Amino acid sequence: MNSKTKKYEIDMTEGALLPKILLFSIPLMISSILQLLFNAADIVVVGQFSGDETMGANCVAAIGSTGAVINMLLSVFMGLSVGVNVLAARYFAGKQDKEMSDTVHTTVALALVGGIIIAVIGCVASRPILELMGSPDEVIDLSTTYMRIYFIGMPVTLLYNFGAAILRATGDTRRPLYYLMVAGVINVILNLVFVIGFGMHVAGVALATILAQCVSAALIIKALVRTEENYKLDIRKIRIDLDKAKRIIRVGLPAGLQGTIFSFSNVLIQSSINEFGSTAMAGSAAGANLEGFVYMAMNSVYQACVSFTSQNVGAGKADRIGKVLANCLGLVTVVGLVMGNLFYLFGNVLVGIYTAEPATIQYGVQRMAVICTLYFLCGAMDVICGSLRGMGYSTVPMIVSIIGACGLRIVWILTVFRAYHSLTVLYISYPVTWFITASAHLLCYFMIKKIVISKMGNGKVSAA
C-alpha cells in the first residue's frame, strides 16, 4: 500500500465509531463551511461594491434568487455522486480492486458527460424559468447573466464533486478540504478583481467561481492520478462501464430526483417570496445563505452516515449499521441545535454583513427565526435517509421525501399560506415537513434494516 495516500484513509469497519465519524465529518464540515464562505463572498462583494445601495441589493437578490433554480437543474447529476460514494465505499471495504477501478473511470466519464448536458440545459432554460418564477424586472437580467456564466462551469463542478465522492468513500475528507481552500482563496481574490477592478458585478463573481472550480477539479484529478491505491485514475481508461453506471444510477438517480423535486418545491417558495418584492428577496437570500452554513455542517454528518453504513455493509458488519445511525443522529442534533440557534441569536449582525439596508436585515432575521432554530430536524431527516442509501435503498427515501417534504410543502403553499399570507407562515412549512418526513424515514429504516441484515446473513448483498 502507498503510505502517502493511506494516511488519509479511514477504516470505518473496525474500532470505536464516534471518533472516526468525527475524524471524517470535521474536515468535510470545515470544507463545506469554507465553500459557503467563499460563496458568501460573492454576495458580500457585489452587495458592498456594486455602486449604490439599490444596485447592491438588486445584485444580492439576483444571486440569491438563482439558488433554487440552479439546484433544481443540478440535483439529478449531483445525486449521482451519492451513488458513486455508496458503490466505491463497498468495493473499497470489500477490497474488490477491479470493480473499484472500473467505478472510478466510469465516475469521471459520467461527470464530464453530465456536466456538458447540464451546461447546455442551464444556459438555454435560465431566463424562461426565472420568468415563470415572476422574478422582478430590476433583477431578472442580472439573475440570467449570473446563471448562464455559472452553468458554463458545470463540467468542472461535477468533476470536483464526483472525484471528492471517491475520496470520501475511502474515508479521505482532508484532501478535498485542502483543495477547496486553495480554490476558495483564488475565488475571493478574483471576486475583488472582477467586481471592484472591472465593475463586472454578478458576471464577475460568476466568472471567478468558474475559474476557482477549475483549480479544485484539477487538484482532485491530480490526486486520483497520482495514487497507487485501487482508486487510481488512468486518463487513458476513462470510459463508461455500463454495469457500474447502472449501479451508480440505481442509488444516485433517486437521490438526484429527490433533490430536484425538493428544489422544485423551493422554487415555488422562492416564487412566493418574490411576491413580497426585491427587499424581501434580498433579505431571504441573505438569511438562506447563512442557513447554508448550518445545513452544510449537518450535511457532513449525513455523508458520514452514507459512507460508514456502506463500508460496513460491504464488509459484512451488520451489528455496526444501527450504531452508525445512532452516533450520526446524536451528532447532527447537537450540530443543528448549537449552530442554528447561535446564527439566529446573532442574526442582525450576520445579515448585516451582506447588506446595510435595515429593511433587508429585518427580512433576513425573520426567516432565520423559524428555520435556523429548528434546523436540526432537517439534519435528522437527512441522516436517516443517508442510512437507507448506505444500505443500498435509495428509491424508498426518495418516495417518502417527495410525499412528506415536497408534497406537503406544496400543499402548505396552496392552502395555509394562501389563507394566512405572510412570510413567517410560508417559512413554517419547512420545520413541519422536516418532522413528518423524518418520522416516516425512521419507520422505513427499521423495516429495511431487517431485510439488509437477512441478506447479509445469506451472503446476498451486492455492491449496490
pLDDT tier for residue 133 given thresholds of 50, 70 and 90: confident
Average pLDDT of the residues of the chain:
85
The verdict on residue 4 lying in a domain is no
Residue 232 located in a structural domain: yes
Q: How confident is the model at residue 4 (pLDDT cuts 50, 70, 90)?
A: low
C-alpha cell at 387: 442510512
Give residue 337's pLDDT.
Answer: 96
**Are 388 and 398 within 8 A, CB to CB?**
no
> In this model, does residue 464 exceed pLDDT 50?
no
State pLDDT tens for residues 75-119: 777 778 888 888 888 888 878 889 999 999 999 999 999 899 989
Q: For 281-291, what is each residue's pLDDT tens digit?
A: 888 888 887 88
Q: Is 1 a member of any domain?
A: no
- pTM of the full structure: 0.77
Cell triple for 136: 422582478
- Does a structural domain hold residue 316? yes
Residue 9 belongs to some domain of the structure: no
CA distances for 225 relative to 2, 10, 100, 219, 220, angstroms: 13, 20, 14, 10, 9
Pull the grid cell for residue 233.
485514475
Which structural domain range is residue 434 located in? 15-457
Q: Which of 218, 367, 398, 220 is nearest to 287 (CA)?
A: 367
pLDDT in tens, 185-211: 898 899 888 888 787 888 888 899 899
Q: What is the SS3 string spanning 310-369?
A: HHHHHCCCHHHHHHHHHHHHHHHHHHHHHHHHHHHHCHHHHHHHHCCCHHHHHHHHHHHH
SS3 at position 420:
coil
Cα–Cα nearest to 17, from 171, 121, 132: 171
Name the one residue in this structure whose C-alpha cell is 445584485: 59
Q: Is residue 464 part of a domain?
A: no
Does residue 125 fall inside a structural domain?
yes
d(CA 217, CA 208): 14
pLDDT of residue 112: 93
Taking CA atoms, 410 is separated from 128, 296, 377, 417, in Å, by 21, 24, 19, 10
Q: Please give the helix or strand (H or E) that residue 293 lies within, else none.
A: helix 278-314
Indicate whether 219 pLDDT > 80: yes
Q: Kindly tell me if the per-residue pLDDT of 3 is higher than 60.
A: no
- Kindly indicate the confidence band of residue 18, based on its pLDDT and cuts at 50, 70 and 90: very high
- Residue 262 · residue 408 · CB < 8 Å: no
Contact 415, 407 (CB under 8 A): no
Number of domains in the chain: 1
CA-CA-CA-CA torsion for 419, 422, 427, 428, nearest 10 degrees? -50
pLDDT at residue 54, rounded to an integer: 63
Residue 373 cell numbers, joined: 432554530
Contact yes or no for 311/90 (Cβ under 8 A):
yes
Calpha distance 162→432 (Å, rounded): 32
In a domain, 365, yes or no: yes
Quote the CA–CA distance of 200 and 208 in Å, as a whole number. 11
